[in-house]
Amino acid sequence: MSVAIRQVTIRGRVQGVGYRYWVEQQATAHAVEGWVRNRRARVDAVDECPGSADALNLRRAGERFSTLPTI
């Protein structure tokens, strides 16, 4: 199996809709490693691009997928 690291940015308002919880559930169901966090914004666009191992390492130690604090 090949490994791909992707960074997906959802631009826009996502607070109050359970976005992080939904992403974490989907990631767990599909054996995806990574993390999710909110930013203070509303959904205007979805951007996807190659990610890096450094970005993947923002996960909490020992977790395959982490929910990080809002920034």
Q: What pLDDT sits at residue 47?
A: 87
Q: What does the pLDDT read at residue 1?
A: 59
Rg value, the chain, Cα: 12
Q: What is the pLDDT along the chain (71 residues), one digit of tens a residue?
A: 577 888 888 777 766 778 888 889 999 999 999 988 877 777 788 888 888 888 888 899 998 888 888 87
The per-residue pLDDT for 30 is: 92
Predicted model pTM = 0.64
Quickly count: other Cβ atoms within 10 Å of residue 36's Cβ.
19
38, 39, 60, 64: the active-site residue: 38
20 given a catalytic annotation: yes
Helices (H) and strands (E) in the chain, counts: 2, 4
Residue 35 and residue 63: Cα distance in Å, rounded?
9
Q: Which of 6, 11, 20, 64 is catalytic?
A: 20
Domain parsing of the chain, residue ranges:
6-67
Residue 38 falls in the annotated catalytic set: yes
